[in-house]
Amino acid sequence: MAEEISSLLLPKSISARNEKDCTTLPVVFVEGNGSSYSGVVFNVTTSIIGGGIMSIPATLQVLGIVPALMLIVIVAIFSEISADFLLRFTVRNTTYAGLMRESFALAGSFLLQICVIITNLGCLIIYLIVIGDVLSGTGGKLEQGRSAHMGILLEWFGTHWWYSRKFSMLFIIVFVMLPLVLLKRIESLRQENDRKTPTSQRFIFFEAFHGIHPIRAELNKPSDMTSAIRISLVICIAIYSVVGISGYQLFGDSTMSDILSNFDENFSSSTNTWILTDILRLSYAIHLMLVFPILNFPLRVNIDELFFPTPKWPPLSTHQARFVLITCFLLLIVYVAAVVIPNIWYFFQFIGSTTSLCVAFIFPCAIVLRDYHGVATRRDKVLAVLMITLAVVASSIAIFSDVITII
């Protein structure tokens, strides 16, 4: 199963290492028609920037402009260090899961798999919530006493039963998401997205740490990957800062957790502005609809491998009943969660303080401390301990704050 999925998701690469020699230098990738340097920078950048950018203005509102911008820079620096760890400690394996399995046996790859499943599932829920916000507004649910914002359907057609969040999201799930997620091969998803939007295929690498190795395999000169990551992080810092400051300065204390919700007819002072903002909101919602099935693909594969491992079970692509059941079950979970908790802020808080933190910082640093191939320097280990400590402290504070808020 793993080989089948790898052939779908990963580009072809050749290792220059002798399989019997475990003391060689990091893997060298050879790609006949590799991606350009600018293309790799674009891939990494889009893999980092996702639906979370919609909450950056709300982050500035909570923390303040200066502390929030400092936090963005600090996280970017730590991200560069983590990415460097993953690249430099790649000796035998060429995937993140392979590194975890190499360092911590099956338990390591299992923990990574669980974190990836939770993170991906949370991202799908966030996508559907954003789509619901655009189409049907905030559904009457207030954020910290603020007034609800209307969706496009209400603005265009007035009050009708079918513009409600529950119905609009159910319609999208059944008639848009389901046909796309039932496609069995990732190439089919790419072709579908190519016909509808030229940039959606770039979001297959939905998180930079998951896609570092396959993206490097596409680079004509793999040694340039480190500088490409640094440039991407600088671009992301600039984009996050501009979006955050602009959104917060525009809406102030009324900034919603999903900034798109602020761009309703109450914001638009003229017909031209109203049309422009609606086009912006609708185009982003359509984009998320197209990205949704691509993100669902690895999630479905991970869940299937977790509960139906080979060779006890036949491959998922050959077992139609299991394929359909897992697909429908995931859509049901995403829909119910989006209806019950229609606020992306809660999901960002949970994912950001738990699974994403593990995938982005704790696991790479743990690989360094384990130092399976004995290549870690004293500086590497000091940085790894520092980052794990900060990550655990930040996670504990965030979880405690969330619990206090809920209570």
Residue, of 362 and 294, whose pLDDT is higher: 362
Q: What is the pLDDT of residues 100-121, one digit of tens each?
A: 888 999 899 899 889 888 988 9
Residue among 243, 265, 57 nearest 148 (CA): 265
Domain boundaries, given as residue ranges, for the chain:
33-406
Mean pLDDT of 269-297: 77
The whole-angstrom distance between residue 144's C-alpha and the CA centroid of its chain comes to: 27
Q: Which two tokens stand for residue 145?
A: 């006493």
pLDDT at 256: 78
Question: What's the chain's average pLDDT?
Answer: 76
HEC string for the chain:
CHHHHHHHHCCCCCCCCCCCCCCCCCCCCCCCCCECHHHHHHHHHHHHCCHHHHHHHHHHHHHCHHHHHHHHHHHHHHHHHHHHHHHHCCCCCCCHHHHHHHHHHHHHHHHHHHHHHHHHHHHHHHHHHHHHHHHHCCCCCCCCCCCCCCCHHHHHHCCCHHHCHHHHHHHHHHHHHHHHHCCCCHHHHHHHHHHHCCCHHHHHCCCHHHHHHHHHHHECCHHHHHHHHHHHHHHHHHHHHHHHHHHHHHHHHHCCCCHHHHCCCCCCCCHHHHHHHHHHHHHHHHHHHHHHHHHHHHHHHHHHHHHCCCCCCCCHHHCHHHHHHHHHHHHHHHHHHHHHCCCHHHHHHHHHHCHHHHHHHHHHHHHHHHCCCCCCCHHHHHHHHHHHHHHHHHHHHHHHHHHHHHC
Between the alpha carbon of residue 117 and those of residues 24, 112, 123, 175, the distances in Å are 32, 9, 10, 24
pLDDT band at 164 (very low <50, low <70, confident <90, very high): confident
Give the model's pLDDT for residue 26. Answer: 38
Give residue-wise pLDDT tens across range 26-70.
333 444 455 677 877 876 776 677 667 878 888 888 888 999 999
| 329: pLDDT strictly greater than 90 | yes
Instruction: Decide if pLDDT at 226 tops 50.
Output: yes
193 or 399: which leads in pLDDT: 399
Are 331 and 181 contacting, i.e. CB atoms less than 8 angstroms apart?
yes
Cα–Cα nearest to 284, from 132, 109, 388, 148 = 132
Report which of residues 311 and 16 the model is more confident about. 311
Q: Are 356 and 121 a contacting pair, CB within 8 Å?
A: no
Top-level class of domain 33-406: mainly alpha
pTM of this structure: 0.72
Q: What are the angstrom distances between the C-alpha of 240 and each of 245, 299, 301, 351?
A: 8, 27, 31, 19
Percent of the chain with pLDDT over 70: 73
Cα pseudo-dihedral 319, 324, 325, 326, rounded to 10: 90
Query: What pLDDT shows up at residue 203?
Result: 31
Residues pairing with 35 in the sheet: 219
**Two tokens, residue 2:** 């793993």
Confidence band for 370, pLDDT divided at 50, 70 and 90:
very high
Which pLDDT does position 128 carry in this prediction? 92
Spatial separation of the C-alpha atoms in residues 39 and 53, rounded to whole Å: 21
> Which phi and psi angles does 35 have, rounded to 5°?
-75, 155
* pLDDT tens digits, one per residue of 186-225: 545 544 444 433 333 333 353 555 567 666 766 667 678 8
How many CB atoms within 10 Å of residue 179?
Answer: 11
Least confident of 157-171, 176-190, 210-224: 210-224
User: In 3D, which of 40, 50, 41, 38 has the Cα closest to residue 240?
Assistant: 50
According to the model, what pLDDT value does residue 10 have? Answer: 38
The values of phi and psi at residue 199, to 5°, are -105, -10
> What integer is the mean pLDDT of 294-315?
83
Q: How confident is the model at residue 259 (pLDDT cuts 50, 70, 90)?
A: confident
CA angle 164, 167, 170 (to 5 degrees): 140
Instruction: Give the pair of three-digit tokens for residue 167.
Output: 């119905």
pLDDT score recorded for residue 16? 36
| Count of all residues that appear for the chain in the document | 407
Cβ pair 26, 213 in contact under 8 A: no
206 HSE (CA, 13 A, CB side): 26
